[in-house]
Chain A
Amino acid sequence: MTKVKTQSLHKRHSQLAHAEKQMEFLSNGIFATDELPTFAEKIKATGQFPLRPKTLEILQINVGYMCNQVCEHCHVDAGPDRKEIMTRETMEQCLEVIKTTKAHTLDLTGGAPEMNPNFRWFVEEASKAGIKDFIVRSNLTIIVANKKYHDLPEFFKKYNIHVVSSMPHWTQGKTDKQRGEGVFQDSIKALKMLNEVGYGMPGSPLKLDLVYNPSGAFLPTDQSALEKDFKKALLNDFGIHFRQLFVITNLPISRFLDYLIASENYEDYMYSLVEAFNPAAVANVMCTNTLSVSWDGWLYDCDFNQMLELKVASKVKHISEYNEELLNNRNIVISQHCYGCTAGAGSSCQGSVA
């Protein structure tokens, strides 16, 4: 049984629960004293400023911040106490966009998206739009959290949903440390349930990918090497199959920023990110092909900008006034957290980019 590890920053009334406090922190200190270059300065030096969108490929919709877990490093600050949930009305506005967008991928995220009471209705309606790749980011444990979620694997299968799930390590200790006691065992149960209906099985068209992000103040290593280790361990220890591993770098925002500051790792971590800056990753960073929609319909360059409340720099700022052409003419809003997506092989919701 999954146990909630901690409380959200919101619940704790932490200063860092407020986006402007996070932005203040990221703009000052080592970046104000010129010890490290700001992200804007860095990409100016490589001739990549301003950052501009390319063809829109992915529409990522955050249907709410409520979650059954409170993971240590959650950039959403999600948890059971978060009440921000997308309404049916906003979902209807999203559906209008989904029907006309040129994006080939629809990516539903949260919190635990399945906890939105209109989740299944939304999936059914959105799937009628004939999106090529329909992703649901499931935290796995939700599948076994309550009887009413036990049929999720069958539901996902019915709509050919591409399931993408977090799994910080193939061992219980490291997984539970980051995501809460009992999460590892529940995740294993859920993965077996997904495998049983065909998800992730060799030769199966049902796609099951896992997401790895480091459990502490360090950057991830090469995606293919980690994927090999994950596959070997999960197959040998539990007979579990999955398709691909996406490696994601932790961005210094929200609960991870709080952790970095509290553990006195913030400066070293920022140094690591800046030292690992890779211009090739900048060229393919996810905000260049993604748009993020918040639970209340506002538009952002990515899920991280959403959490920092940095809305798109466009006349069009809300899903109700969506205009793809106008949006494609915007400059992408950046700050120091963007170093997280340009370190090493780069990082995105689809894993490495360079």
Chain B
Amino acid sequence: MSYYDPKDLRKFGNITEWGEELGNKFFDYYGKVFEEGALTAREKSLIALAVAHTEMCPYCIDAYTKDGLQRGITKEEMMEAVHVGAAIKSGASLVHGVMMMNKVNKLDG
């Protein structure tokens, strides 16, 4: 038995039951964010997919893989988006190497 149950994704809307005002505000905001704007809904879906991976959120990966397929996004496009997320994530770790270098230089330079 895993902590994550795919069926729980269907229950996401139920969070409003224990906090209606904040829950509704969140879902209104969420819905608005994904509307077509300066970015297309398609572009937003790919961003969401990349972030879903960097956040390592199984629900979000499930939801935005399906969303991508519904929008006709190809698996090649999806994988490129995942790599963008992964590159930022690894870059974010690696760039801290500069801190290490600074420290070494200060202490032992």
Instruction: List the interface of chain A (C-beta within 8 A of B).
Output: 169-171, 173-174, 212, 214-216, 218-222, 225-226, 229-230, 271, 275
Among residues 1 to 33 in chain B, which have CB atoms less than 8 Å away from a CB atom of chain A? 10
- By the criterion CB–CB under 8 Å, are A221 and B74 in contact? no
- By the criterion CB–CB under 8 Å, are B70 and A220 in contact? yes
- By the criterion CB–CB under 8 Å, are A229 and B72 in contact? yes
Interface size on B, residues (CB 8 A): 12
- By the criterion CB–CB under 8 Å, are B66 and A221 in contact? no
Instruction: List the interface of chain B (C-beta within 8 A of A).
Output: 10, 36, 40-42, 66-67, 69-72, 74
* Cβ-closest 5 pairs across A and B: A221-B70, A221-B71, A218-B69, A218-B70, A218-B66
Could you write out 22 A-B pairs with CB less than 8 Å apart? Answer: A169-B72, A169-B74, A170-B72, A171-B74, A214-B69, A214-B70, A215-B69, A218-B66, A218-B70, A219-B70, A221-B67, A221-B71, A221-B72, A225-B36, A225-B40, A225-B41, A225-B71, A226-B72, A229-B71, A229-B72, A271-B10, A275-B10
Main secondary structure of the interface of B (DSSP, over half): helix
What CA separation (Å) do A221 and B72 show in the bound complex? 8
What CA separation (Å) do A174 and B69 show in the bound complex? 11
What CA separation (Å) do A118 and B40 show in the bound complex? 48
What CA separation (Å) do A220 and B72 show in the bound complex? 8
Residues in chain A near residue B41, CB distance under 8 A: 222, 225
Given A171-B74, A174-B74, A275-B10, does the pair A216, B42 have CB atoms closer than 8 Å? no
- By the criterion CB–CB under 8 Å, are B71 and A226 in contact? yes
